[in-house]
Amino acid sequence: QKEVEQNSGPLSVPEGAIASLNCTYSDRGSQSFFWYRQYSGKSPELIMSIYSNGDKEDGRFTAQLNKASQYVSLLIRDSQPSDSATYLCAVPQNTPLVFGKGTRLSVIA
Amino acid sequence: GAGVSQSPSNKVTEKGKDVELRCDPISGHTALYWYRQRLGQGLEFLIYFQGNSAPDKSGLPSDRFSAERTGESVSTLTIQRTQQEDSAVYLCASSPTSGGSFGYFGPGTRLLVL
C-alpha cells in the first residue's frame, strides 16, 4: 500500500511565526508533490506544487523536497490567523492523487 | 462556469434509497476524480476517469457504488441502497492533463443518510 503520512496536529503557532508542515511518502518513484489547503467546511485548494529537490518559494509559502529522504515540507512565514486550516499533502501514485490525512494548523493572534 | 461544479450541494436521504451525484468539470479537462471525505477524515479516492480510457475503479468501496462519464463531460456517481456509513462529503476534481497531476476541486456534495 503506497502511503502519504502527515502529523494530524493540531499545530499551534503564534501570529507572525513560521509554521512548518511535514509529509513523508512511501513511493520512491514519485516525481511530483502538491500541497492543498482546506478550510473547515470547504473543498481543498491547491497552493503549492514541487517537482525537483530543493526549495520552491511563492510569497509566504516555501515547499521543500528531499527525494532521497522521501520527505516534503511546507513552510509558512509570517503566519496569519487566516492561515488556520488543514493542510493536505498529495502525491500521484500511478494516476490518482493520494492524499495524506492532513495537518490542522491553528495560528493564534 | 469557471470552476468545477457539483450538484446537489446537500442531499439527505433515507437508508436503502439510491442517490445520484453530479459533477461538471472545467471545460477541456481530460481527467476527473471522485473522492469521499468523512467528517474529520482525509480524502479517500473513489474513481478516476481519463478521456475515453477505462476508468480506474480501484477505490470504490463496494458494488453499491458506480460512476459514469461521457467523454470529457459530466460525471455522475451513483450510490445504491445507501447506508449510514455512506454519509460524507463527495468531492469531484478535474485536471487539465493525465498522469495524476494536480486537480481543481468542486465544492462537494454533502450526503447524509438517515
For an interface test with A, give the residue of B48, B102, B110 to mutate (most A CBs within 10 A): B102
Name the residue facing A97 among B41, B103, B106 (closest C-beta): B103
The 10 Å CB-count burial string (b at 16+, else e) for B50-70 is: beeeebbeebbeeeebebebe
As a residue count, chain B comes to 114
Helix and strand tally (H, E) in chain A? 0, 11
Q: What is the grid cell recorded at A79?
A: 503566519
In tens, the pLDDT along B80-91 reads: 999 999 999 999
Residue A2 has a pLDDT of: 67
Confidence of residue B101 (pLDDT cuts 50, 70, 90): low
Cα A17 from Cα A75, distance rounded (Å): 10
The residue with cell 468523512 is B38
Name the residue facing B108 among A43, A93, A94 (closest C-beta): A43
- From residue A28, how far is each of A68, A88, B107 by CA, in Å? 8, 19, 32
Beta-bridge mates of residue A41: none
Kindly give, in sequence order, each residue whose CB lies less than 8 Å from that of residue A26, ignoring residues fewer than 6 positions away: A1, A2, A3, A4, A70
Interchain pair B98, A95: CB under 8 A:
yes
The yes-or-no verdict on residue B51 having pLDDT over 90 is no
> In terms of pLDDT, which residue wins out, B58 or B18?
B18
> Mapping DSSP to helix (H, G, I), strand (E, B) and coil, where does residue B77 land?
strand
In chain A, the residue whose alpha carbon lies closest to the alpha carbon of B47 is A96
In tens, the pLDDT along A71-95 reads: 999 999 999 999 999 999 998 766 6
Exposed, middle or buried: residue B110 (CB in 10 Å: 0-12, 13-18, 19+)? middle
Nearest CA-CA distance, residue A92 and chain B, Å: 5
For an interface test with B, give the residue of A97, A103, A104 to mutate (most B CBs within 10 A): A97
Interchain pair B48, A100: CB under 8 A:
no
